A = this chain, B = another copy of it.
Amino acid sequence: MIQLDQVTKRYPSSDEVLKNVSLHIEAGELIYVTGHSGAGKSTLLKLIAATERPSSGTVLIANQNTSQLKPSAIPFLRRRFGLIFQDHKLLYDRNCFENVILPLHINGITGLEAAKRVRAALDKVGLLHKEKAMPITLSGGEQQRLAIARAVVSRPSILIADEPTGNLDASYAAEIMSIFHAFHQVGVTVIMATHDALSQHGAQNRVLHLTQGRLTEHKAQGLT
Closest to A87 in B: B140
Q: Is the interface of A mostly helix, strand, loop or mixed?
A: loop
Distance between Cα atoms of A13 and B137 in the complex (Å): 10
A133–B42 CB distance below 8 A: no
Pick from A59-67, A72-80, A163-171 the stretch touching chain B.
A163-171
Chain A 23-51 per-residue mask, 1 if CB under 8 angstroms from chain B, else 0: 00000000000111111011000000000
B42–A140 CB distance below 8 A: yes
A170–B142 CB distance below 8 A: no
Distance between Cα atoms of A169 and B167 in the complex (Å): 12
19 contacts between A and B (CB under 8 A): A11-B137, A14-B137, A35-B169, A36-B172, A37-B140, A37-B141, A37-B144, A37-B168, A38-B141, A39-B139, A86-B140, A87-B140, A87-B143, A140-B162, A167-B167, A169-B195, A169-B196, A170-B195, A224-B224
